[in-house]
Amino acid sequence: MVIAVDRGRYTCWLDESVVTAMRARELGRKSVVVGDTVALVGDVSGGPDALARIVRIGERRSVLRRTADDDDPYERVIVANADQLVIVTALVDPPPRTGFVDRCLVAAFDAGVEPLLCLTKGDLAPPRAAEELSQHWAALDLPVVTTRRDAEPTVLAERLTGRMSVLIGHSGVGKSTLVNRLVPDAARATGGVSAVGKGRHTSTSAVALALPAGGWVIDTPGVRSFGLAHVSPASLLAGFEDLAEGADECPANCEHRSAEEGCALDAWVAAGHAGPERLASYRHLLASRGDFGNF
What does 249-286 look like in DSSP terms, one character per residue? GSPTT---S-GGGT-SHHHHHHTTSS-HHHHHHHHHHH
**Within a domain: residue 228?**
no
107 and 142 assigned to the same domain: yes
- Is the preceding peptide bond at 94 cis, omega within 30 degrees of 0? yes
The crossing angle, in degrees rounded to 10, of helices 98-111 and 276-289 is 70
* Gap between the Cα atoms of 225 and 248, Å rounded: 31
96 and 138 assigned to the same domain: yes
Q: Between these two residues, 90 and 16, which has the higher pLDDT value?
A: 90
261 and 184 assigned to the same domain: no
Mean pLDDT value across residues 134-154: 93
Among the listed ranges 51-65, 72-86, 155-169, which one has the minimum average pLDDT value? 72-86
Helix (H, G, I), strand (E, B) or coil at 65: strand
Mean pLDDT value across residues 152-156: 96
Q: Which amino acid is at 3?
A: I
Mean pLDDT of the chain: 88
- pLDDT (tens digit, 9 = 90+) per residue, 238-278? 889 899 999 999 998 888 988 888 899 999 999 999 999 99
**pLDDT of res. 187:** 67
Please choose, from the candidates 232, 123, 211, 212, the residue with its C-alpha nearest in 3D space to the C-alpha of residue 167.
211
- The pTM for the full model equals 0.85
> Looking at the predicted structure, is the pLDDT value of residue 199 above 70?
no
Domain C-terminal end among 10, 35, 57:
57
**Within a domain: residue 129?**
yes
Number of structural domains (the chain) is 3
Mean pLDDT value across residues 159-180: 93
Mean pLDDT value across residues 168-194: 78
75 and 42 assigned to the same domain: no
8 and 125 assigned to the same domain: no
Percent of the chain with pLDDT over 90: 64
**Within a domain: residue 276?**
yes
> Looking at the predicted structure, is the pLDDT value of residue 168 above 90?
yes
25 and 157 assigned to the same domain: no
The beta strands (E) that lie in the chain are given as 2-6, 9-14, 17-23, 38-42, 52-57, 63-66, 76-80, 84-90, 114-120, 144-146, 164-168, 207-210, 216-219
Q: At 118, which CATH number?
A: 3.40.50.300
165 and 254 assigned to the same domain: no
Range of the structural domain that residue 277 is part of: 233-289
214 and 148 assigned to the same domain: yes
265 and 157 assigned to the same domain: no
